[in-house]
Homo-oligomer: A and B are copies of this chain.
Amino acid sequence: MSSSASQKNATLTFQNVYIESTGTFVGPIEKEGPLGDYFENYSDDLYYGEKTFEKAEREMSKIAIDSCLQKVNRTYDDLDLVVAGDLLNQLTASNFVAKDLNTPFIGVYGACSTACLSMLNAATYVEHTSFKRVLAYTSSHNATAERQYRYPLEYGIQKKDMTTYTATGCGSILLSNQVSNVRIAHATIGKVIDLNQKDANDMGRAMVPCAYDTLHQHLNDLQRTVNDYDLIVTGDLSTYGKEILKELFKADGINLDNYDDCGCMLFDIANQEVFQGGSGCACSALVSYGYLYPLLQQKKLHRVLILATGALLSPTSTQQKESIPCISHAISMEVV
C-alpha cells in the first residue's frame, strides 16, 4: 500500500487556539478501565437514573459540559459558539443538549471521528472569527448505539469476535484565544476513503486506510516525521486494525513505536468484555480530553497527534450490501 496522500494540502495551522478546559463523563465499564481514575464524572449503570438510554446519554453530556465550564468558572453565557455531534440519528444526543446552551450551534457528523471534527471546526472559528470561546462536545452510549446500529442490548445477541465496544460517555472541550499551557496547533481534515470493505462487524480494520491516509497527509503537509510526536493515537481501530496500521507504516520504512489506539487504551482488553477494543465518538474524546490533555498540562507529554477515525456506514447502507466509507481527522495538541 503506497501513500495515497494527495498533493492537496489538508492541514490547518493555528496560532492562537488554546485549551481552556475539558470535562468528561463515563459509564461503568469505562470507569473500571485502566484510565478510569482520569474521568471525573461517571455512572454505575447505563441508565443514570433516566427512563431511556437516550436521555441518559444527554444527561451525561450535560454533566461533562458543566464540569468543563465550572473548572474555569465559565457559564453558558461565556460561550460564543458550540460545535457538537454524536452517533445517534439526527444528532439527537447533541441537539437536545444544545437547546439549553442558548448559543450559536453547528452540528457536525463524522461517526467516531467527531471528536477531532468538532475540535477542528471549533479551532477554526476561534482562530479566525469573533467567536473566541468555543465549546465542542461529543458523546456515545453503548445501549443507544447498539439499538440503533445493530440489536438492542436486551436481545442478548452474540457479538462477532472482530467487533468493538461502543464507549459510553461524553467528552467536552473548551477552546479559546486566551493563552493556556496547551494549544491546538494543527488540524488535518480527512478525505472519505472506501477500499470496499463491507463487514460492519469489523469497522476497526475498515478504518485503517483512512487513518493511514490522514497520518501520511499530516506528516507531508507539515514536513514532519512520526518522531516529532511524543505520542500518536488513532480513534478506534481495534487490536487488529492497530497492528495493521503499524505494518503498513513499517512497509513504508516508518516505525510507529510511539503509537497507540484510544480504543485499546480505554479498556483492559484482556479482562474487560470489549471484544477488540473501544469505539464510539466518546472513545477518542475521553482518552484525549480526560487522559492526554492532563499529561500535556503536566508536561509529561509535549506533542500529541490524535487521529480520530469514523466509519460512515448506516444500517440501511449495510442492508443494501454497500461498502463502508471511512474518514479520519487529525488534531495536534502541543505544550505551549
- Which of A's residues lie within 8 Å of B, judged by CB? 6, 8-10, 12, 52, 54-55, 80-81, 85, 88-92, 95-96, 98-99, 101-111, 117, 121, 124-125, 127-130, 148, 188-194, 312-317, 320, 322, 325, 327
A105 neighbours in B (Cβ, 8 Å): 189-192, 327
A88 neighbours in B (Cβ, 8 Å): 314, 316
CA distance A160 to B327 in the complex (A): 39
A148 neighbours in B (Cβ, 8 Å): 316
Q: A92-B316, A109-B85, A316-B89 are in contact. Are A127 and B130 (CB under 8 A)?
A: no
A96 to B191, Cβ gap below 8 A? no
B189 to A81, Cβ gap below 8 A? yes
CA distance A186 to B133 in the complex (A): 20
B109 to A90, Cβ gap below 8 A? yes
Residue in chain B with minimal CB distance to A312: B95
Most chain B beta-carbon neighbours within 10 Å: one of A128, A188, A325 = A325
B317 to A96, Cβ gap below 8 A? yes
21 A-B Cβ contacts within 8 A? A54-B320, A55-B320, A89-B90, A89-B315, A90-B109, A90-B111, A90-B312, A90-B313, A91-B312, A95-B327, A96-B312, A99-B194, A101-B191, A103-B191, A106-B108, A106-B117, A106-B189, A107-B312, A109-B109, A124-B125, A127-B128
Most chain B beta-carbon neighbours within 10 Å: one of A6, A8, A85, A148 = A8
Most chain B beta-carbon neighbours within 10 Å: one of A54, A80, A91, A190 = A91
* Apart from A92-B316, A96-B312, A128-B128: 7 A-B pairs, beta carbons within 8 A: A9-B80, A10-B104, A54-B316, A89-B314, A90-B111, A124-B129, A148-B316
CA distance A190 to B316 in the complex (A): 30
